[in-house]
Structure 1
Amino acid sequence: MNRTLVIAHRGARSLAPENTLAAAQKGLEVGADLWETDVGVTADGVLILFHDDSLKRTTNAAEVFPDRAPWTFTEFTFDEIERLDAGSWFDRDDPFGQIAAGRVSAAEQAAYVGLRVPTVEEALVFTRDHDWTVNIELKRLPPPLEDFPIVPRFFEVMDRVGIAPEQVRLSSFEHRWLEEARALRPEVEVQALVGFYRDRPIDWDAVAEFQTVNARATLTPPEKVRELVAAGRRINLFTVNDAEEARAYIEAGVTGLFTDFPQDLVPLAHAAAGKETP
């Protein structure tokens, strides 16, 4: 059985501000097999790393631009987003309690103050230069960029950076984008995201054309994972932070686990495979 991959969700976001290069660096340091991040697009067409539709939670946009609520990222130019602090909120909120637990040093906390929202180009350069792998989630874009040509634009950035196709995975809830990506660049692996709605069962037949599926863990019990893997599917689950839950999925043969705590799941995955943690 292949070892379960540990995927640093938005980077190691329990140890550093999510979707920053600092979070990617922490994921690399703790031995994650790859990292995951989200793609947003600015008003002037720059691809950035961002998750929420609003800039409010993870930047100081409300302070810098008090009159532009609800601070939707597609309504800001890249120059405007570059003015934002995307790190101080982490020190203030300690979203996963890792500062309080003593797992984030004072020097790291200080370094997070003033972090910028990175571009996709910077993320791919980081991944290329560290001989690592990244899972890029192409997110549904809020107005007014619903029809932005995200797939070809992403490949333009890939080409500019010169990253190897095998270092990139593309995932999305928008399966039409994955079909477009497969047609344009069959050498780049695509992974169908399923389970967008927490209270609706997953229609596995609807994603039968995709060998790799990234599914919501709460909708995919270990016995379902075992069934799917036995049928030749590759299943990655989001987001698994509990060690006992992770063990159950690893025993079921899950391909990969997206986690906010790669620092905890890497040793677990290696122990399950009988390998030493790096």
Structure 2
Amino acid sequence: MPKRPVALTAGALLGMSALFATAVPAAADAQESFKGAPTPVAHRGASGYAPENTLAAVDKAAALGIRWVENDVQRTRDGKLVVIHDTTLDRTTDAEEVYPDRAPWNVGDFTAAEIAKLDAGSWFGKKYAGTKVPTLKQYLARVGKHDRKLLLELKEPGRYPGIEAQTLKELSNEGWLDGDHVDGKLIVQSFDAGAVANVHLLKPAVKTGFLGKPDVDDLGTYALFTDQINPSSSTLTKDYVDAVHAVRGAHGKPMQVLTWTVNDAKGARAAAKAGVDGIISNFPDVVRDALED
């Protein structure tokens, strides 16, 4: 697999803040964000209604009229990209039953063909029995079929050296790095600051997000390679959102804030009051309806 072009950690990035904190403060009236009320994002697809990170969850998000879908990407033992959240297969598939002698069932210990044999839907309900763990290629095709937009998370990229370049290549092969997509249909995010920096280095046109809540004093460093700061809703404050909006990100626009995971109307209204640009939810229709009310 290709090597990571840079080996940046969050600590190393923060250590460089004195040298590289060059982000330009944004005028308040120039702030750009998702238009109107905060945009609902379907977490792992509409995962409150269908098995997470499956094609069925994409279909449900589309049926609900939700424009943005979030997913998680990992790599199999034979180098294929698959869409699954946990680094192990046991919670959302029948891996323990099919492969009883292969604990702890790490995604990276199985080939794509082996994972394709698993049932990723029965745990959620009989209606979804036989649902499969999709490959990234299959997932991109389904998102594109519904004309949805994609918030793609690189899940624990440190486990999969070179996954940034590989994911970008797959996105390119499937037509997701053309002007239309990079201008408004694709964001790549991660909890790993180095991975986000690598994505920006490899494909500067791609919009990126960092999952977490860096100190306000460090936002200038993150702004060198990311366009969004995406913290947990449990840590969210209006002052912090305002601080993020006051800094221009990697593409010269005010950084945005998407928060996660908000699953009720009260939480959605609180996040909106804090000024976020997007709200990631298992029940994105609940978020949308709360904000419309």
TM-score, with normalisation over the residues of structure 2? 0.78
Offset, 1:269: 2.8
**1:254 aligned counterpart, secondary structure:** coil
Cα offsets for 1:15-53 (capped at 9, x unmatched): 000000101111111122301000011000100001111
**1:28 aligned counterpart, secondary structure:** helix
Please tell me whether residue 83 in structure 1 is matched to residue 105 in structure 2: no
CA contact (8 A) 1:6 1:269 kept: no
Distance across 2 between alignment mates of 1:227 and 1:266: 25
- In structure 2, list runs of 5 or more residues that go unmatched: 1-34, 248-253
Would the alpha carbon gap of residues 147 and 22 (structure 1) be closer, same or farther in structure 2, given more than 3 Å must change?
A: closer
The equivalent residue for 2:13 is none
The equivalent residue for 1:274 is none
Please tell me whether residue 203 in structure 1 is matched to residue 215 in structure 2: yes
The equivalent residue for 1:268 is 290
The equivalent residue for 1:156 is 169
Please tell me whether residue 245 in structure 1 is matched to residue 267 in structure 2: yes
CA contact (8 A) 2:40 2:284 kept: yes
- The aligned runs of 1:73-222 (5 Å cut-off) are 73-91=107-125, 109-110=126-127, 112-141=128-157, 146-163=159-176, 164-165=181-182, 166-195=184-213, 202-208=214-220, 209=223, 210-222=226-238
Offset, 1:222: 3.7
Cα offsets for 1:43-76 (capped at 9, x unmatched): 0010000111110000000000000011111000
Distance across 2 between alignment mates of 1:156 and 1:267: 37
**1:90 aligned counterpart, secondary structure:** coil
- In structure 1, list runs of 5 or more residues that go unmatched: 92-108, 196-201, 272-278
CA contact (8 A) 1:6 1:256 kept: yes
CA contact (8 A) 2:229 2:244 kept: no
2:277 is matched by which residue type in structure 1? T
1:120 is matched by which residue type in structure 2? L
CA contact (8 A) 2:44 2:57 kept: yes
**1:234 aligned counterpart, secondary structure:** coil
1:159 is matched by which residue type in structure 2? S
- Within the candidate set 65, 73, 77, 1:39 is matched to 73
**1:89 aligned counterpart, secondary structure:** coil
TM-score, with normalisation over the residues of structure 1? 0.82
Please tell me whether residue 236 in structure 1 is matched to residue 252 in structure 2: no
Q: How many residues align?
A: 244
The equivalent residue for 1:25 is 59
